Chains A and B, each alone.
Chain A
Amino acid sequence: MLDLLKGPIYSFQEFMLLMGRAFRNLFRRPHYPDDLWMQMDIIGVGSLPIVMLIGFFSGAIMALQMARALNQYGATSQVGPIVAITLVREMGPVLTALLVAGRNASGIASELGSMKVTEQIDAMRALGTDPIQKLVKPRLLAMCIVLPLLTIIADFIGLVGGYLISCPLLHLTTTSQYWSSAWRALEYNDIAQGLLKPFAFAIVIALVGCFYGLQTTGGTQGVGRATTRAVVVASVWVFVLTFFIGKLFVRL
Protein backbone atom coordinates (compact mmCIF):
# COMPACT_ATOMS: atom_id res chain seq x y z
CA MET A 1 0.00 0.00 0.00
CA LEU A 2 2.76 2.38 1.00
CA ASP A 3 4.68 1.50 -2.14
CA LEU A 4 1.65 2.35 -4.23
CA LEU A 5 1.51 5.82 -2.72
CA LYS A 6 5.23 6.43 -3.09
CA GLY A 7 5.07 7.21 -6.80
CA PRO A 8 2.31 9.83 -6.73
CA ILE A 9 3.69 11.47 -3.60
CA TYR A 10 7.15 11.65 -5.12
CA SER A 11 5.68 13.18 -8.29
CA PHE A 12 3.77 15.70 -6.25
CA GLN A 13 6.90 16.65 -4.36
CA GLU A 14 8.82 17.11 -7.63
CA PHE A 15 5.92 19.16 -8.98
CA MET A 16 5.96 21.42 -5.92
CA LEU A 17 9.72 21.85 -6.27
CA LEU A 18 9.31 22.88 -9.90
CA MET A 19 6.56 25.29 -8.86
CA GLY A 20 8.81 26.75 -6.18
CA ARG A 21 11.67 27.23 -8.60
CA ALA A 22 9.39 28.72 -11.23
CA PHE A 23 7.93 31.27 -8.79
CA ARG A 24 11.31 32.11 -7.30
CA ASN A 25 12.59 32.88 -10.78
CA LEU A 26 9.62 35.07 -11.74
CA PHE A 27 11.29 38.31 -10.71
CA ARG A 28 14.89 37.30 -11.24
CA ARG A 29 16.98 38.11 -14.26
CA PRO A 30 17.35 37.13 -17.00
CA HIS A 31 13.91 37.73 -18.46
CA TYR A 32 13.15 36.57 -21.97
CA PRO A 33 10.45 38.93 -23.29
CA ASP A 34 10.62 37.48 -26.81
CA ASP A 35 9.77 34.03 -25.51
CA LEU A 36 6.93 35.50 -23.42
CA TRP A 37 5.42 37.22 -26.46
CA MET A 38 5.74 34.08 -28.51
CA GLN A 39 4.01 31.97 -25.87
CA MET A 40 1.23 34.55 -25.45
CA ASP A 41 0.72 34.38 -29.19
CA ILE A 42 0.70 30.57 -29.27
CA ILE A 43 -1.57 30.15 -26.26
CA GLY A 44 -3.75 33.27 -26.51
CA VAL A 45 -4.16 34.08 -30.18
CA GLY A 46 -3.91 30.42 -31.12
CA SER A 47 -6.75 29.38 -28.80
CA LEU A 48 -8.97 32.37 -29.53
CA PRO A 49 -11.12 30.89 -32.38
CA ILE A 50 -11.90 27.65 -30.59
CA VAL A 51 -12.53 29.42 -27.28
CA MET A 52 -14.98 31.81 -28.97
CA LEU A 53 -16.74 28.94 -30.72
CA ILE A 54 -17.15 26.91 -27.57
CA GLY A 55 -18.15 30.00 -25.57
CA PHE A 56 -20.85 30.81 -28.09
CA PHE A 57 -22.32 27.34 -28.06
CA SER A 58 -22.23 26.95 -24.30
CA GLY A 59 -24.26 30.16 -23.89
CA ALA A 60 -26.63 29.13 -26.65
CA ILE A 61 -27.12 25.62 -25.26
CA MET A 62 -27.71 26.99 -21.78
CA ALA A 63 -30.48 29.26 -23.05
CA LEU A 64 -31.96 26.48 -25.16
CA GLN A 65 -32.10 23.95 -22.33
CA MET A 66 -33.38 26.43 -19.80
CA ALA A 67 -36.18 27.63 -22.06
CA ARG A 68 -38.58 24.80 -21.24
CA ALA A 69 -37.93 24.75 -17.52
CA LEU A 70 -38.35 28.51 -17.27
CA ASN A 71 -41.49 28.37 -19.38
CA GLN A 72 -43.01 25.92 -16.94
CA TYR A 73 -42.77 28.48 -14.16
CA GLY A 74 -43.52 31.44 -16.39
CA ALA A 75 -40.10 32.80 -15.65
CA THR A 76 -38.68 33.08 -19.17
CA SER A 77 -37.51 36.61 -18.44
CA GLN A 78 -34.90 35.12 -16.09
CA VAL A 79 -32.94 33.55 -18.94
CA GLY A 80 -30.41 36.42 -18.98
CA PRO A 81 -29.38 36.07 -15.31
CA ILE A 82 -29.20 32.28 -15.59
CA VAL A 83 -26.92 32.36 -18.61
CA ALA A 84 -24.80 35.13 -17.10
CA ILE A 85 -24.32 33.49 -13.72
CA THR A 86 -23.59 29.98 -14.97
CA LEU A 87 -21.21 31.28 -17.60
CA VAL A 88 -19.28 33.71 -15.48
CA ARG A 89 -19.08 31.54 -12.39
CA GLU A 90 -18.48 28.11 -13.85
CA MET A 91 -18.90 27.31 -17.52
CA GLY A 92 -16.72 30.06 -18.95
CA PRO A 93 -13.65 29.43 -16.77
CA VAL A 94 -13.90 25.63 -16.78
CA LEU A 95 -14.63 25.11 -20.46
CA THR A 96 -11.93 27.57 -21.48
CA ALA A 97 -9.44 25.94 -19.14
CA LEU A 98 -10.28 22.46 -20.44
CA LEU A 99 -9.82 23.60 -24.01
CA VAL A 100 -6.53 25.29 -23.25
CA ALA A 101 -5.42 22.26 -21.24
CA GLY A 102 -6.15 20.05 -24.22
CA ARG A 103 -4.47 22.37 -26.67
CA ASN A 104 -1.55 23.80 -24.71
CA ALA A 105 -0.75 21.50 -21.79
CA SER A 106 -0.23 18.85 -24.46
CA GLY A 107 1.70 21.25 -26.69
CA ILE A 108 3.98 22.31 -23.86
CA ALA A 109 4.53 18.74 -22.65
CA SER A 110 5.34 17.39 -26.10
CA GLU A 111 7.65 20.29 -26.98
CA LEU A 112 9.61 20.12 -23.75
CA GLY A 113 9.48 16.31 -23.80
CA SER A 114 11.02 16.17 -27.27
CA MET A 115 13.70 18.58 -26.14
CA LYS A 116 14.36 16.42 -23.11
CA VAL A 117 14.74 13.13 -24.99
CA THR A 118 16.99 14.70 -27.64
CA GLU A 119 19.19 16.17 -24.86
CA GLN A 120 18.41 19.74 -25.85
CA ILE A 121 17.50 20.53 -22.24
CA ASP A 122 20.96 19.35 -21.19
CA ALA A 123 22.45 21.40 -24.02
CA MET A 124 20.58 24.42 -22.70
CA ARG A 125 22.01 23.88 -19.22
CA ALA A 126 25.49 23.24 -20.59
CA LEU A 127 25.34 26.52 -22.52
CA GLY A 128 24.87 28.41 -19.28
CA THR A 129 21.10 28.99 -19.40
CA ASP A 130 18.47 27.80 -16.97
CA PRO A 131 15.62 25.79 -18.56
CA ILE A 132 13.32 27.03 -15.80
CA GLN A 133 14.00 30.62 -16.79
CA LYS A 134 14.08 30.01 -20.52
CA LEU A 135 11.24 27.50 -20.92
CA VAL A 136 9.03 27.33 -17.82
CA LYS A 137 8.82 31.00 -16.83
CA PRO A 138 7.60 32.37 -20.19
CA ARG A 139 4.97 29.63 -20.46
CA LEU A 140 3.75 30.16 -16.90
CA LEU A 141 3.55 33.93 -17.26
CA ALA A 142 1.94 33.78 -20.70
CA MET A 143 -0.70 31.34 -19.43
CA CYS A 144 -1.47 33.52 -16.38
CA ILE A 145 -1.94 36.56 -18.60
CA VAL A 146 -3.96 35.07 -21.44
CA LEU A 147 -6.19 32.50 -19.74
CA PRO A 148 -8.21 35.12 -17.76
CA LEU A 149 -8.49 37.19 -20.92
CA LEU A 150 -9.68 34.20 -22.94
CA THR A 151 -12.21 33.46 -20.21
CA ILE A 152 -13.62 36.99 -20.32
CA ILE A 153 -14.00 36.71 -24.08
CA ALA A 154 -15.66 33.28 -23.77
CA ASP A 155 -18.07 34.65 -21.14
CA PHE A 156 -19.08 37.56 -23.34
CA ILE A 157 -19.48 35.51 -26.51
CA GLY A 158 -21.52 33.02 -24.45
CA LEU A 159 -23.87 35.79 -23.39
CA VAL A 160 -24.25 36.76 -27.03
CA GLY A 161 -25.02 33.13 -27.87
CA GLY A 162 -27.60 32.98 -25.11
CA TYR A 163 -29.13 36.23 -26.39
CA LEU A 164 -29.41 34.98 -29.96
CA ILE A 165 -31.32 31.92 -28.78
CA SER A 166 -33.57 33.62 -26.27
CA CYS A 167 -34.56 36.78 -28.17
CA PRO A 168 -34.54 36.45 -31.97
CA LEU A 169 -35.13 32.69 -31.97
CA LEU A 170 -37.35 31.69 -29.05
CA HIS A 171 -38.71 35.12 -28.04
CA LEU A 172 -38.28 34.34 -24.36
CA THR A 173 -37.57 37.92 -23.41
CA THR A 174 -36.77 41.32 -24.92
CA THR A 175 -33.29 42.48 -25.90
CA SER A 176 -33.07 45.19 -23.28
CA GLN A 177 -34.43 42.97 -20.54
CA TYR A 178 -32.00 40.16 -21.41
CA TRP A 179 -28.95 42.38 -21.25
CA SER A 180 -29.95 44.52 -18.28
CA SER A 181 -31.06 41.56 -16.16
CA ALA A 182 -27.94 39.64 -17.08
CA TRP A 183 -25.81 42.60 -16.11
CA ARG A 184 -27.63 43.22 -12.83
CA ALA A 185 -27.51 39.53 -11.87
CA LEU A 186 -23.73 39.56 -11.64
CA GLU A 187 -22.32 40.43 -8.26
CA TYR A 188 -18.72 41.15 -7.33
CA ASN A 189 -18.60 37.70 -5.83
CA ASP A 190 -19.33 36.15 -9.24
CA ILE A 191 -16.80 38.30 -11.07
CA ALA A 192 -14.16 37.60 -8.43
CA GLN A 193 -14.49 33.85 -8.63
CA GLY A 194 -14.88 34.04 -12.39
CA LEU A 195 -11.48 35.67 -12.58
CA LEU A 196 -9.73 33.85 -9.76
CA LYS A 197 -10.50 30.48 -11.30
CA PRO A 198 -8.80 31.01 -14.67
CA PHE A 199 -5.78 32.41 -12.86
CA ALA A 200 -5.47 29.28 -10.71
CA PHE A 201 -6.14 27.04 -13.71
CA ALA A 202 -3.44 28.85 -15.67
CA ILE A 203 -0.81 28.08 -13.05
CA VAL A 204 -1.81 24.44 -12.98
CA ILE A 205 -2.06 23.95 -16.76
CA ALA A 206 1.28 25.60 -17.51
CA LEU A 207 3.18 23.90 -14.72
CA VAL A 208 1.66 20.46 -15.31
CA GLY A 209 2.60 20.72 -19.00
CA CYS A 210 6.14 21.80 -18.16
CA PHE A 211 6.47 19.23 -15.40
CA TYR A 212 5.54 16.21 -17.51
CA GLY A 213 7.60 17.56 -20.40
CA LEU A 214 10.73 17.96 -18.29
CA GLN A 215 10.20 14.55 -16.65
CA THR A 216 10.02 12.74 -19.98
CA THR A 217 12.14 9.63 -20.37
CA GLY A 218 12.08 6.80 -22.86
CA GLY A 219 12.31 8.28 -26.34
CA THR A 220 9.43 9.20 -28.61
CA GLN A 221 7.08 6.83 -26.81
CA GLY A 222 7.88 8.69 -23.61
CA VAL A 223 6.91 11.97 -25.28
CA GLY A 224 3.50 10.51 -26.13
CA ARG A 225 3.05 9.29 -22.58
CA ALA A 226 4.07 12.64 -21.12
CA THR A 227 1.62 14.47 -23.38
CA THR A 228 -1.30 12.23 -22.45
CA ARG A 229 -0.53 12.47 -18.77
CA ALA A 230 -0.23 16.25 -18.90
CA VAL A 231 -3.69 16.63 -20.45
CA VAL A 232 -5.36 14.16 -18.10
CA VAL A 233 -3.75 15.54 -14.95
CA ALA A 234 -4.35 19.17 -15.93
CA SER A 235 -8.01 18.48 -16.71
CA VAL A 236 -8.58 16.63 -13.45
CA TRP A 237 -7.00 19.47 -11.51
CA VAL A 238 -9.23 21.97 -13.27
CA PHE A 239 -12.28 20.16 -11.89
CA VAL A 240 -10.82 19.71 -8.43
CA LEU A 241 -9.83 23.36 -8.22
CA THR A 242 -13.11 24.69 -9.53
CA PHE A 243 -14.89 22.74 -6.79
CA PHE A 244 -12.70 24.11 -4.01
CA ILE A 245 -12.67 27.68 -5.28
CA GLY A 246 -16.43 27.49 -5.76
CA LYS A 247 -16.76 26.24 -2.19
CA LEU A 248 -14.72 29.16 -0.98
CA PHE A 249 -17.18 31.62 -2.51
CA VAL A 250 -20.46 29.94 -1.65
CA ARG A 251 -21.85 31.35 1.57
CA LEU A 252 -25.43 30.54 2.25
Chain B
Amino acid sequence: MSSADGGQEVLRFEEVTVRFEDEVAALNRVSFRLLEGESRILLGAAGSGKTVLLKTSIGLIRPSEGRVYLFGTDITELPEDDLIDLRARVGVLFQEGGLFDSLTVEENVAYPLLNQRHARFAPEEVRRRVIEALRFVELEHTLDKLPSELSGGMKRRVGIARANVTEPALVLYDSPTAGLDPITATTIMTLILKARDTKNTTTVMATHRYQDGYLLASYRYNPVTGRIERAPVEEIRRGGTKYLVLREGRLVFEGTQLDIEACDDPYVKKFVKRLQD
Protein backbone atom coordinates (compact mmCIF):
# COMPACT_ATOMS: atom_id res chain seq x y z
CA MET B 1 0.00 0.00 0.00
CA SER B 2 1.14 3.48 -0.68
CA SER B 3 2.08 5.97 1.97
CA ALA B 4 0.52 9.31 2.67
CA ASP B 5 3.41 10.90 4.46
CA GLY B 6 3.62 14.21 2.69
CA GLY B 7 4.96 13.35 -0.76
CA GLN B 8 5.00 15.80 -3.64
CA GLU B 9 1.68 16.99 -4.95
CA VAL B 10 0.79 15.24 -8.19
CA LEU B 11 -2.72 16.46 -8.90
CA ARG B 12 -4.97 19.12 -7.42
CA PHE B 13 -8.49 20.18 -8.35
CA GLU B 14 -9.71 23.51 -7.02
CA GLU B 15 -13.44 24.08 -7.32
CA VAL B 16 -13.44 22.66 -10.83
CA THR B 17 -16.61 22.95 -12.87
CA VAL B 18 -16.93 21.54 -16.38
CA ARG B 19 -19.88 22.47 -18.54
CA PHE B 20 -20.52 21.34 -22.09
CA GLU B 21 -22.20 23.99 -24.23
CA ASP B 22 -23.70 25.69 -21.16
CA GLU B 23 -25.77 22.71 -20.17
CA VAL B 24 -25.80 20.83 -16.88
CA ALA B 25 -22.40 20.73 -15.22
CA ALA B 26 -20.60 17.44 -15.87
CA LEU B 27 -18.36 18.33 -12.92
CA ASN B 28 -19.61 20.68 -10.25
CA ARG B 29 -17.13 22.47 -7.96
CA VAL B 30 -14.91 19.44 -7.44
CA SER B 31 -11.85 19.84 -5.20
CA PHE B 32 -9.31 17.27 -4.08
CA ARG B 33 -5.58 16.73 -3.75
CA LEU B 34 -3.47 13.74 -4.67
CA LEU B 35 0.07 13.27 -3.38
CA GLU B 36 2.86 11.14 -4.78
CA GLY B 37 2.40 7.45 -4.05
CA GLU B 38 -1.26 7.78 -3.15
CA SER B 39 -4.28 6.26 -4.85
CA ARG B 40 -7.80 7.48 -5.48
CA ILE B 41 -10.86 5.49 -6.45
CA LEU B 42 -13.43 7.50 -8.38
CA LEU B 43 -16.66 5.74 -7.61
CA GLY B 44 -19.95 6.70 -9.20
CA ALA B 45 -22.80 5.58 -11.40
CA ALA B 46 -22.61 5.88 -15.18
CA GLY B 47 -22.73 9.55 -16.18
CA SER B 48 -21.57 10.82 -12.80
CA GLY B 49 -18.54 12.52 -14.32
CA LYS B 50 -15.73 10.01 -13.72
CA THR B 51 -14.38 10.05 -17.25
CA VAL B 52 -14.74 13.82 -17.47
CA LEU B 53 -12.73 14.18 -14.27
CA LEU B 54 -9.95 11.94 -15.64
CA LYS B 55 -9.87 13.81 -18.95
CA THR B 56 -9.86 17.17 -17.18
CA SER B 57 -6.93 16.13 -15.02
CA ILE B 58 -4.69 15.83 -18.10
CA GLY B 59 -6.16 18.77 -19.99
CA LEU B 60 -8.08 16.82 -22.62
CA ILE B 61 -11.09 18.74 -21.34
CA ARG B 62 -10.67 22.29 -20.06
CA PRO B 63 -12.58 23.37 -16.94
CA SER B 64 -15.21 26.09 -17.29
CA GLU B 65 -14.38 27.34 -13.80
CA GLY B 66 -11.80 26.51 -11.16
CA ARG B 67 -8.19 25.43 -11.56
CA VAL B 68 -6.36 22.18 -12.18
CA TYR B 69 -2.75 21.59 -11.14
CA LEU B 70 -0.82 18.66 -12.60
CA PHE B 71 2.66 18.02 -11.14
CA GLY B 72 2.45 21.46 -9.57
CA THR B 73 1.80 23.22 -12.90
CA ASP B 74 -1.43 25.11 -13.42
CA ILE B 75 -2.81 23.46 -16.56
CA THR B 76 -6.14 25.27 -16.62
CA GLU B 77 -5.10 27.48 -19.54
CA LEU B 78 -1.78 25.90 -20.45
CA PRO B 79 -1.19 25.81 -24.23
CA GLU B 80 -1.58 22.38 -25.81
CA ASP B 81 2.10 22.34 -26.74
CA ASP B 82 3.25 22.48 -23.12
CA LEU B 83 0.56 20.06 -22.01
CA ILE B 84 1.91 17.41 -24.33
CA ASP B 85 5.15 17.18 -22.40
CA LEU B 86 3.31 17.01 -19.07
CA ARG B 87 1.06 14.26 -20.38
CA ALA B 88 4.13 12.25 -21.29
CA ARG B 89 4.59 11.74 -17.54
CA VAL B 90 1.10 10.28 -17.17
CA GLY B 91 -0.06 6.81 -18.20
CA VAL B 92 -3.67 6.40 -19.24
CA LEU B 93 -5.86 3.34 -19.72
CA PHE B 94 -8.98 4.25 -21.67
CA GLN B 95 -12.39 2.77 -21.10
CA GLU B 96 -12.19 0.23 -23.91
CA GLY B 97 -8.41 0.05 -23.88
CA GLY B 98 -8.07 2.89 -26.41
CA LEU B 99 -5.64 0.93 -28.57
CA PHE B 100 -4.70 2.09 -32.08
CA ASP B 101 -6.57 -0.42 -34.22
CA SER B 102 -4.19 -0.29 -37.18
CA LEU B 103 -1.07 -0.94 -35.07
CA THR B 104 0.01 -4.33 -33.70
CA VAL B 105 0.20 -5.00 -29.98
CA GLU B 106 3.94 -4.43 -30.05
CA GLU B 107 3.58 -1.10 -31.91
CA ASN B 108 0.81 -0.03 -29.57
CA VAL B 109 2.90 -0.60 -26.46
CA ALA B 110 5.97 0.92 -28.11
CA TYR B 111 3.98 4.00 -29.19
CA PRO B 112 4.79 6.27 -26.22
CA LEU B 113 8.44 5.19 -26.26
CA LEU B 114 8.86 5.99 -29.94
CA ASN B 115 6.69 9.05 -30.32
CA GLN B 116 6.97 11.26 -27.27
CA ARG B 117 8.94 14.42 -27.89
CA HIS B 118 11.74 13.71 -25.47
CA ALA B 119 11.77 9.96 -25.81
CA ARG B 120 14.88 8.75 -27.57
CA PHE B 121 15.41 5.04 -27.17
CA ALA B 122 17.51 2.66 -29.22
CA PRO B 123 15.39 0.05 -31.04
CA GLU B 124 16.73 -2.77 -28.84
CA GLU B 125 15.86 -0.80 -25.72
CA VAL B 126 12.33 -0.16 -27.02
CA ARG B 127 11.85 -3.83 -27.74
CA ARG B 128 13.21 -4.85 -24.37
CA ARG B 129 10.87 -2.53 -22.53
CA VAL B 130 7.87 -3.50 -24.66
CA ILE B 131 8.45 -7.18 -23.98
CA GLU B 132 8.97 -6.47 -20.31
CA ALA B 133 5.72 -4.49 -20.13
CA LEU B 134 3.83 -7.21 -21.98
CA ARG B 135 5.32 -9.91 -19.77
CA PHE B 136 4.05 -7.92 -16.81
CA VAL B 137 0.49 -8.42 -18.10
CA GLU B 138 1.34 -11.96 -19.31
CA LEU B 139 0.76 -11.21 -22.97
CA GLU B 140 4.28 -11.39 -24.37
CA HIS B 141 3.13 -13.98 -26.93
CA THR B 142 0.75 -11.54 -28.68
CA LEU B 143 3.37 -9.13 -30.08
CA ASP B 144 2.27 -9.37 -33.71
CA LYS B 145 -1.48 -9.50 -33.13
CA LEU B 146 -3.82 -6.65 -34.05
CA PRO B 147 -6.19 -5.33 -31.38
CA SER B 148 -9.18 -6.71 -33.31
CA GLU B 149 -7.83 -10.22 -32.71
CA LEU B 150 -7.81 -9.79 -28.93
CA SER B 151 -10.58 -10.37 -26.42
CA GLY B 152 -11.92 -7.51 -24.32
CA GLY B 153 -9.84 -8.50 -21.30
CA MET B 154 -6.68 -8.83 -23.38
CA LYS B 155 -7.22 -5.36 -24.86
CA ARG B 156 -7.36 -3.90 -21.36
CA ARG B 157 -4.20 -5.77 -20.43
CA VAL B 158 -2.37 -4.38 -23.47
CA GLY B 159 -3.73 -0.98 -22.44
CA ILE B 160 -2.28 -1.46 -18.95
CA ALA B 161 1.07 -2.43 -20.46
CA ARG B 162 1.03 0.68 -22.65
CA ALA B 163 0.01 2.93 -19.76
CA ASN B 164 2.92 1.67 -17.66
CA VAL B 165 5.65 1.20 -20.29
CA THR B 166 7.17 4.65 -19.78
CA GLU B 167 7.13 4.18 -16.00
CA PRO B 168 4.95 7.25 -15.53
CA ALA B 169 4.64 9.13 -12.27
CA LEU B 170 0.84 9.01 -12.43
CA VAL B 171 -1.43 6.39 -13.98
CA LEU B 172 -5.12 6.92 -14.70
CA TYR B 173 -7.42 3.94 -15.24
CA ASP B 174 -10.84 4.63 -16.73
CA SER B 175 -13.29 1.85 -15.84
CA PRO B 176 -10.72 -0.90 -16.31
CA THR B 177 -13.18 -3.72 -15.62
CA ALA B 178 -16.33 -2.39 -17.29
CA GLY B 179 -18.07 -5.08 -19.32
CA LEU B 180 -15.75 -7.90 -18.23
CA ASP B 181 -16.65 -11.17 -16.53
CA PRO B 182 -15.78 -11.42 -12.79
CA ILE B 183 -12.74 -13.66 -13.31
CA THR B 184 -11.17 -11.40 -15.95
CA ALA B 185 -12.07 -8.37 -13.84
CA THR B 186 -10.13 -9.82 -10.89
CA THR B 187 -7.15 -10.49 -13.18
CA ILE B 188 -7.23 -6.86 -14.35
CA MET B 189 -7.49 -5.58 -10.77
CA THR B 190 -4.57 -7.79 -9.71
CA LEU B 191 -2.49 -6.27 -12.51
CA ILE B 192 -3.43 -2.74 -11.45
CA LEU B 193 -2.46 -3.52 -7.84
CA LYS B 194 0.77 -5.08 -9.08
CA ALA B 195 1.58 -2.05 -11.21
CA ARG B 196 0.83 0.26 -8.30
CA ASP B 197 2.67 -1.62 -5.58
CA THR B 198 5.78 -2.80 -7.40
CA LYS B 199 6.61 0.67 -8.68
CA ASN B 200 4.80 2.75 -6.05
CA THR B 201 2.96 4.57 -8.83
CA THR B 202 0.41 7.24 -8.01
CA THR B 203 -2.88 5.82 -9.24
CA VAL B 204 -6.35 7.12 -10.01
CA MET B 205 -8.98 4.58 -10.97
CA ALA B 206 -12.50 5.38 -12.12
CA THR B 207 -15.04 2.61 -11.65
CA HIS B 208 -18.70 1.97 -11.03
CA ARG B 209 -17.93 -1.36 -9.31
CA TYR B 210 -17.43 -1.13 -5.60
CA GLN B 211 -15.61 -4.51 -5.59
CA ASP B 212 -12.81 -2.95 -7.67
CA GLY B 213 -12.51 -0.04 -5.28
CA TYR B 214 -12.55 -2.44 -2.36
CA LEU B 215 -9.61 -4.36 -3.85
CA LEU B 216 -7.61 -1.21 -4.56
CA ALA B 217 -8.37 0.27 -1.13
CA SER B 218 -7.81 -2.70 1.15
CA TYR B 219 -5.53 -5.10 -0.69
CA ARG B 220 -1.92 -4.97 -1.74
CA TYR B 221 0.32 -6.94 -4.07
CA ASN B 222 2.85 -9.26 -2.50
CA PRO B 223 5.84 -9.58 -4.82
CA VAL B 224 7.10 -12.70 -2.98
CA THR B 225 3.96 -14.81 -3.43
CA GLY B 226 2.89 -13.03 -6.62
CA ARG B 227 -0.62 -12.67 -5.24
CA ILE B 228 -2.72 -9.97 -3.66
CA GLU B 229 -3.37 -9.99 0.05
CA ARG B 230 -5.30 -7.91 2.56
CA ALA B 231 -3.45 -4.81 3.72
CA PRO B 232 -3.13 -4.29 7.48
CA VAL B 233 -5.77 -2.01 9.02
CA GLU B 234 -3.19 0.58 10.11
CA GLU B 235 -2.13 0.98 6.51
CA ILE B 236 -5.72 1.53 5.36
CA ARG B 237 -6.29 3.99 8.18
CA ARG B 238 -3.27 6.03 7.11
CA GLY B 239 -5.35 7.13 4.14
CA GLY B 240 -2.98 6.62 1.22
CA THR B 241 -5.90 5.21 -0.74
CA LYS B 242 -9.17 7.09 -0.64
CA TYR B 243 -12.53 6.89 -2.32
CA LEU B 244 -13.92 9.89 -4.16
CA VAL B 245 -17.61 9.29 -4.71
CA LEU B 246 -19.18 11.29 -7.54
CA ARG B 247 -22.86 11.93 -7.99
CA GLU B 248 -24.08 13.91 -10.99
CA GLY B 249 -20.81 15.79 -11.17
CA ARG B 250 -20.55 16.60 -7.50
CA LEU B 251 -18.08 15.09 -5.06
CA VAL B 252 -20.28 13.69 -2.32
CA PHE B 253 -17.79 11.64 -0.31
CA GLU B 254 -14.05 11.44 0.26
CA GLY B 255 -12.54 8.90 2.62
CA THR B 256 -10.82 5.57 3.21
CA GLN B 257 -12.23 2.06 3.12
CA LEU B 258 -13.06 2.32 6.83
CA ASP B 259 -14.82 5.66 6.31
CA ILE B 260 -16.92 4.46 3.39
CA GLU B 261 -18.10 1.41 5.31
CA ALA B 262 -19.24 3.70 8.12
CA CYS B 263 -20.80 6.32 5.82
CA ASP B 264 -24.49 7.13 6.24
CA ASP B 265 -25.11 8.83 2.89
CA PRO B 266 -27.81 6.82 1.10
CA TYR B 267 -26.13 7.18 -2.33
CA VAL B 268 -22.79 5.96 -1.00
CA LYS B 269 -24.52 3.20 0.94
CA LYS B 270 -26.08 1.88 -2.25
CA PHE B 271 -22.61 1.06 -3.57
CA VAL B 272 -21.26 -0.36 -0.32
CA LYS B 273 -24.28 -2.46 0.49
CA ARG B 274 -24.11 -4.43 -2.69
CA LEU B 275 -20.89 -6.15 -1.64
CA GLN B 276 -21.94 -6.86 1.91
CA ASP B 277 -24.99 -8.68 0.60
B84 touching A128, Cβ below 8 Å: yes
Interface of B: prevailing SS: mixed
| Complex contact B90–A126 (CB within 8 A) | yes
Binding site for A on B (CB under 8 A): 55, 58, 60, 80-81, 84-85, 87-90, 92, 94, 98-101, 111-112, 115-117, 162
In the bound assembly, the distance between CA atoms of A128 and B88 in angstroms comes to: 4
**Is the beta-carbon distance between B100 and A130 smaller than 8 angstroms?**
no
Q: Is A68 an interface residue (CB 8 A)?
A: no
| Contact status A123-B117, CB under 8 Å | no
Q: Which of A114-122, A173-181, A196-204, A243-251 contacts B (4 or more CB under 8 A)?
A: A114-122
* B contact residues around A123 at 8 Å (CB): 92, 94, 98-100
Q: List 21 A-B contacts (CB under 8 A).
A: A30-B116, A32-B115, A119-B94, A120-B98, A122-B55, A122-B60, A122-B94, A123-B92, A123-B98, A123-B100, A126-B58, A126-B94, A127-B88, A127-B92, A127-B111, A127-B112, A128-B84, A128-B88, A128-B117, A129-B111, A129-B112
Query: Does A134 count as interface, using CB distance less than 8 angstroms?
Result: yes
Residues A118 and B101 in contact, CB atoms below 8 Å apart? yes
The answer to the question of A29 belonging to the interface, with a C-beta cut-off of 8 Å to chain B, is: yes
With both chains docked as a complex, state the minimum distance between the C-beta of A127 and any C-beta of chain B, in angstroms.
5
B117/A30 in contact, CB under 8 A: yes
Asked whether any CB of chain B lies closer than 8 Å to the CB of A171, the reply is no
CB of B60 within 8 A of CB of A125, answer: yes
| With A29-B117, A122-B60: A128-B112 Cβ-Cβ less than 8 Å | yes
Q: Which residues of B contact A118 (CB under 8 A)?
A: 101
Distance from A152 Cβ to chain B, minimum over Cβ atoms (Å):
32
Provide the bound-state CA to CA distance between A118 and B95, in Å: 11
The chain B residue sitting closest to A120, CB to CB, is B100
Q: Are B58 and A127 in contact (CB under 8 A)?
A: no
> A146 CB to closest chain B CB, in angstroms?
21
For B60, what are the chain A residues with a Cβ–Cβ distance below 8 Å? 122, 125-126
